[in-house]
Amino acid sequence: MNEDRIPILVGAGQLTQRDATLETADEPLVMLEQVARAAAEDARAGDRLLAEIDLVSLVDVVVWKPQNAPRLIADALGAKPRQEWVTSIGGEMGVAAVNHAAREIAAGRSAVGTVLGCNNLRTLIQARKQRTRIHWTQGGSGTPQKLGVDRPGQSEREERHGMKLPIDIYPLFENAIRARRGTGLEEHRRGIGELFHSFTKVAARNPYAWFPTERSAQEISRATPENRMIAYPYTKYMNAILNTDQAAALVLTSVAKARALGIPEDRWVYWWGGADAEEAQWFMSERPDVSVCPAMQISAEAALAEAGTQLAELDAIDLYSCFPAAVGMACDMLGLAPDDPRGLTVTGGLPYAGGPGSSYTVHSIATMMDRLREKPGSKGLVTGNGWYLTKHAACVMATQPPDPEAKRSAPAVRLEAPPELATEEAGRATLETYTVTYGRDGAPERGIVLGRFENGKRFIANTPEDAALLEDLVSRESVGRSGSVAFQDGHATFRPS
């Protein structure tokens, strides 16, 4: 790589509107302009840097879809970009957008790029509750390019059996992970509480966290009226918080451009490498083993290989943390201990720092930059995942230049053949994983299960809506339990023996 084209992150800005009312909350464009200007000031270059932006990449904003949002942002900043990008939906897209911008800089197709993201779901919900119409800026001439592919996260069959939202699906991963590890139910719940207790400690020190509050392991893991069960084994405090008003922006440049703009070297954070990967089977129910995640391992190890470094050499790590399963899966796939002394988050994670739509990793990269700058010579890894442990991205950053001679090949990862999905079959079967969803009154409502028939075919089913049966399902290890599947009108029902 041409030394002058080495990509570096030079500025980061974040914004959290915790207490804004419907009348005082800023709209998406205003928030994005604020964080972009804050990022330019963080780089010590201000308007001079903003005027040089030639690439604008906006991570998907769930509630704001103007014709060309990057053009609106560029106009507000006084920039004239040659490249305008919007991403697909997905928690990995902030990392993917940074990887993309860094490669554009390394190739000489860009000199200054900005990656931004925001979430205004809290304000939108307030407006709907008050039956008020909000008027956010629309328009923007031209059409931006698309980074990533838009595709539904779940299949029609999954939706038909209640696998509609992250809160329905991630618990299925969690129970499969627990069973593979051979951990008892209560021991595992306590372990989740201890893991996320450490996350809340970080969030409590993060000025941009949505919930800057430390919570004990017991407070997180024990079901109470304030912390009701959502879907076994997850309580409310274990779930990502999406109803936030948050924004973040990053600015990247080449080394040559940073020098020309007079950006101090103590602001430079070098991009060492990155990688993106998708699971071979897009839908969760089609994966050979839902307790492992090969593409997560592939993306992280490929990023580390390009960076020429190893996990043990990192000083800071931020693992995507929408639910405990995402963190637990990453630990298992990468060989990390849940109590790694470096910690597994720099922000506090999505349930506590906030899970602002697809743009959490813009915040985690911004926070990682600050962490690395505090310790010259340090290196960090940030990961992200989209949909249901479906899409993955990782990047490695450091405060010193990369060694081009250190790059190495990523190890190969063995992939298993997908299972055949049963259609309208019935008969004896065994559970691979399960969850029970709960109502707001704390009562169990529905069992969702994945399993195999004796012929090896995979099935998705619900259990009968029987409170005693559902309570029994979660009171003892149910992975491996036998039972029978009945099929009627496109819907499968599993009744454990």
Query: C-alpha distances in angstroms, 456 versus 142, 304, 425, 452, 462?
Result: 52, 37, 12, 5, 19
DSSP state of 201: H
Percent of the chain with pLDDT over 90: 89
Task: Considering only residues 62 and 490, tell me which one the structure prediction assigns the higher pLDDT.
Answer: 62
pLDDT at 406: 76
Residue 424 has pLDDT above 80, yes or no: no
- Residue 484's pLDDT band (boundaries 50, 70, 90)? very high
CATH architecture designation of domain 3-141+247-404: 3-Layer(aba) Sandwich (3.40)
Relative to beta strand 83-87, strand 7-16 is: unpaired
Q: How many CB atoms lie within 10 A of CB 65?
A: 11
Q: Is 191 exposed, middle or buried (0-12, 13-18, 19+ CB in 10 A)?
A: buried
Instruction: Note the residue count of the chain.
Output: 497
What are the start-end ranges of the H helices in 210-281? 217-221, 255-260
Same fold, 3-141+247-404 and 427-496: no
Residue 494 has pLDDT above 90, yes or no: yes
Instruction: Determine which helix (DSSP H) or strand (DSSP E) holds 77, and give its type and residue range.
Output: helix 69-77
Q: Running DSSP on this structure, what letter comes out for residue 366?
A: H
Q: Is the pLDDT of residue 410 over 80?
A: no
Q: pLDDT tens across 335-388, in order?
A: 999 999 999 999 999 999 998 889 999 999 999 999 999 999 999 999 999 999
Token pair for 446: 């529905």
pTM metric for this prediction: 0.96
Placement of tokens 């994005």 in the chain: 32
Torsion of CA 430, 435, 441, 442, to 10 degrees: 90
Q: What is the pLDDT of residues 67-123, one digit of tens each?
A: 999 999 999 999 999 999 999 999 999 999 999 999 999 999 999 999 999 999 999
Instruction: Report which of 283, 306, 322, 257 is spatially closest to residue 408, judged by C-alpha positions.
Output: 306
Can you state the angle between helices 185-203 and 324-334, rounded to 10 degrees?
Answer: 100
Mean confidence (pLDDT) of the chain: 94
What is the spatial distance between Cα 341 and Cα 338, in angstroms, rounded to a whole number?
9
Q: How far apart are the C-alpha atoms of 243 and 357, rounded to whole Å?
A: 9
Strand partners, 119: 246
Domain boundaries defined on the chain: 3-141+247-404, 427-496
Cα(202)–Cα(371) distance, rounded to whole angstroms? 12
- Does pLDDT of 463 surpass 90? yes
Residue 22 in this model has a pLDDT that exceeds 90? no
CATH topology of domain 427-496: OB fold (Dihydrolipoamide Acetyltransferase, E2P) (2.40.50)
pLDDT of residue 1: 60
User: What is the per-residue pLDDT for 408?
Assistant: 74
Could you tell me the two tokens for 334? 């990468």
214-267 per-position pLDDT tens digit: 999 999 999 999 999 999 999 999 999 999 999 999 999 999 999 999 999 999
pLDDT, position 300: 96
